[in-house]
């Protein structure tokens, strides 16, 4: 071997060692040509004296604006600006301490997608979202069921708190199924790395926001899923967790400074009393307990009033939208976040991605409380800029009482009418996401005491009302369960694992009722895809009479009449009574039964049924 070759190998080895030992940089990369071109990079070294050094840059188009030290000398924050004409490449930051220089290389990538066209497209009332825990939907790749090095090595389908092995490949394998249901978007519980010792199946205790959990397929698997969806004209919804993290998050394990978390002398849980945030009589302590209290000891609460923390979270949120081609963001536990931070984060995302959809989880008990946390028409000192919310009010105070309460002056289906009458409080209620159930709530089939007729009525409403419908995996085939314990609402989708005795994808082993409800969802979901009135039309509702609730979805091109009979007897439909919307039409097609009717005939709808009519002119 020649001396020149040996020298070259030594230089190569030294370069590899330098790369391996360089401090970690967050965000781990960025892109040329972004609107967000001023960043605050967080550098983390193993050297406790690292922050005493000086940072320079040797890269055209990159300027270091300043640096910031923390109590922990391993960290350094660096403000940079990326010029509009900066080219993609490996940015060379030079760290100098005690006269010794070292290189910190940071990738500046070329953008590969087109925001608003190939990703960050948003979701709207034209979409239907299918929501799942990826660990519980389908196991498409058994080689990633356990990953060496992760703290949680559980794999036991008989234990609903262990991991079961579902992954991105399992989702990809069943994209046809989602489209048959009419779904146009997929939302999964958080897929970022959850390297916690236990209870990692739900994903909400993130330990590394720049790494997709390898048990799902890792970063590459998530990109493949995103690309697979987009090739079919479908969309990807990211579940974002800003409020808290997991105790094994690399920053929590070695804090830059104590004020990165909302610290208390002893563990203090959130009060979960959102009223303190808008109550004009509220105490400062109640406000603090609501926002700064922790959920559980395993989920430390970020101090989002700390600008370094805020920058870290916001830049990560932009990063994963760009990196993985995300189209919409669902924000976990939105009301527990610092609300000023929420506005700043939303504005930053929408500046970079104007068509991005953002909706928050606001799990409260009445409409004014929910409205406060979204764009609204009420006069309060604080005004939220959140575009939409998960509409728990339409669920708790709408469809649930409509199908579970005895009829009365203010009970039963009138509650559904009432809750939609509050829409005047929202800037745009069509941006709200409608749901029947999710991973934190009782399955709807259990709520209605396993009444198949009521389950069908609920889905008919979900797929015809205003807003963006969200289906929770398996409820379309009558999966049941209650939240005590919560694992019962997070069971495996039948047929998602090899040799499952029941298969909801093929129908094998499924009951007649399960298949009937699934077929109803497919029929209405498919119809909705092609219905301009259901996707974009206005809503007009008529006050229920004797348990008969009628509402219309309509625009200039189409009128759809929805009839819900919640009484115990059949009811006659008097089409003349609804002539504000039926005038000019002479016939209708029942989308559910396929029957064609004349509007001048005597039409009766049986007890506990919902029908959907498309108005016709003959």
Which are the catalytic amino acids? 332, 361
Chain-centre distance for alpha carbon 565: 33
- The burial of 428, by beta-carbon neighbours within 10 Å (0-12 exposed, 13-18 middle, 19 or more buried), is given as middle
Question: Helices marked H in 232-305 — which ranges?
Answer: 284-292
Q: What are phi and psi of 450, to 5 degrees?
A: 60, 35
Question: Quick one: CA torsion of 561, 565, 570, 573, rounded to 10 degrees?
Answer: -30
C-alpha pair distances (Å), 169 with each of 224, 238, 424, 472: 9, 17, 43, 19
What one-character-per-residue DSSP string does 383-433 give? -----EEB-HHHIIIIIHHHHHSPPBTTBTTHHHHHHHHGGGGBS-GGGSE
For residue 485, cis peptide bond before it (omega within 30 degrees of 0): yes
Alpha-carbon gap, residue 519 to 530, rounded angstroms? 17
Alpha-carbon gap, residue 81 to 570, rounded angstroms? 69
- At residue 530, the 3 state secondary structure works out as coil
Query: Would you report the helix, strand and coil content of the chain in percent, each value rounded to 5?
Result: 30, 25, 45
> Pairing state of beta strands 185-188 and 538-545?
unpaired
Q: Tokens in use for 228? A: 């697979």
| CB distance 432 to 388 below 8 Å | yes
Alpha-carbon gap, residue 455 to 527, rounded angstroms? 19
Alpha-carbon gap, residue 76 to 51, rounded angstroms? 5
């Amino acid at each position: 071997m020649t001396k020149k070759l040996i020298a070259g190998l030594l230089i190569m080895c030294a370069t590899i060692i330098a790369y391996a030992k360089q401090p970690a940089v967050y965000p781990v990369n960025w892109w040329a040509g972004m609107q967000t071109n001023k960043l605050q990079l967080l550098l983390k070294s193993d050297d406790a004296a690292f922050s005493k050094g000086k940072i320079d840059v040797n890269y055209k188009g990159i300027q270091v604006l300043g640096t910031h030290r923390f109590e922990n000398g391993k960290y350094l924050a660096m403000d940079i600006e990326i010029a509009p004409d900066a080219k993609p490449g490996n940015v060379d930051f030079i760290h100098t301490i005690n006269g010794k220089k070292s290189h910190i290389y940071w990738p500046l990538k070329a953008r590969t997608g087109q925001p608003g066209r190939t990703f960050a497209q948003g979701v709207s009332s034209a979409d239907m979202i299918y929501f799942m825990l990826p660990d519980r939907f389908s196991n498409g790749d058994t080689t990633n069921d356990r990953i060496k090095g992760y703290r949680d090595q559980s794999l036991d389908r008989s234990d609903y708190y262990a991991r079961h092995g579902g992954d991105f490949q399992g989702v990809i394998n069943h994209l046809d199924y989602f489209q048959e249901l009419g779904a146009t978007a997929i939302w999964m519980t958080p897929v970022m790395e959850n390297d916690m010792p236990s209870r990692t199946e739900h994903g909400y205790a993130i330990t590394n926001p720049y790494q997709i959990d390898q048990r799902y397929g890792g970063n590459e698997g998530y990109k493949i899923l995103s690309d697979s969806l987009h090739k079919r004209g479908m969309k990807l919804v990211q579940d974002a967790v800003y409020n808290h993290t997991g105790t094994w998050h690399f920053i929590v394990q070695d804090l830059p400074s104590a004020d990165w978390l909302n610290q208390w002398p002893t563990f203090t849980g959130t009060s979960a009393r959102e009223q303190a945030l808008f109550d004009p009589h509220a105490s400062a302590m109640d406000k603090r307990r609501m926002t700064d209290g922790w959920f559980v000891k395993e989920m430390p609460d970020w101090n989002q009033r700390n600008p370094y923390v805020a920058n870290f979270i916001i830049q990560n949120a932009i990063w994963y939208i760009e990196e993985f081609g995300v189209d919409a963001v669902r924000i976990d536990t939105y009301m527990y976040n610092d609300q000023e931070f929420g506005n700043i984060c939303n504005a930053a995302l929408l500046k970079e991605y104007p068509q991005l959809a953002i909706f928050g989880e606001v799990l409260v008990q009445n409409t004014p409380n929910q409205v406060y946390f979204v764009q609204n028409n009420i006069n309060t000192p604080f005004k939220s800029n959140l575009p939409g919310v998960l509409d728990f009010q339409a669920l708790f105070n709408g469809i649930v009482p409509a199908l579970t309460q005895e009829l009365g002056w203010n009970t039963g289906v009138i509650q559904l009418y009432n809750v939609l009458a509050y829409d005047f409080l929202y800037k745009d209620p069509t941006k709200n996401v409608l749901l029947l159930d999710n991973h934190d709530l009782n399955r709807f089939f259990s709520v209605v005491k396993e009444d198949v007729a009521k389950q069908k009525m609920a889905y008919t409403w979900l797929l015809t009302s205003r807003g963006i419908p969200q289906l929770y995996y398996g409820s379309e085939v009558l999966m049941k369960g209650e939240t005590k314990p919560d694992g019962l609402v997070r069971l495996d989708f039948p047929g998602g694992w090899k040799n499952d005795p029941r298969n909801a994808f093929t129908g094998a082993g499924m009951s007649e009722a399960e298949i009937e409800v699934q077929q109803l969802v497919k029929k209405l979901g498919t119809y909705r895809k092609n219905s301009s009135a259901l996707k974009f039309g206005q809503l007009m509702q008529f006050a229920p009479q004797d348990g008969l609730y009628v509402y219309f979805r309509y625009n200039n091109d189409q009128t759809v009449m929805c009839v819900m009979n919640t009484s115990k007897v059949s009811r006659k439909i008097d089409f003349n009574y609804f002539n504000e919307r039926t005038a000019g039409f002479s016939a209708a097609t029942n989308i559910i039964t396929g029957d064609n009717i004349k509007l001048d005939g005597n039409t009766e709808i049986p007890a506990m049924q919902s029908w959907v009519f498309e108005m016709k002119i003959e």
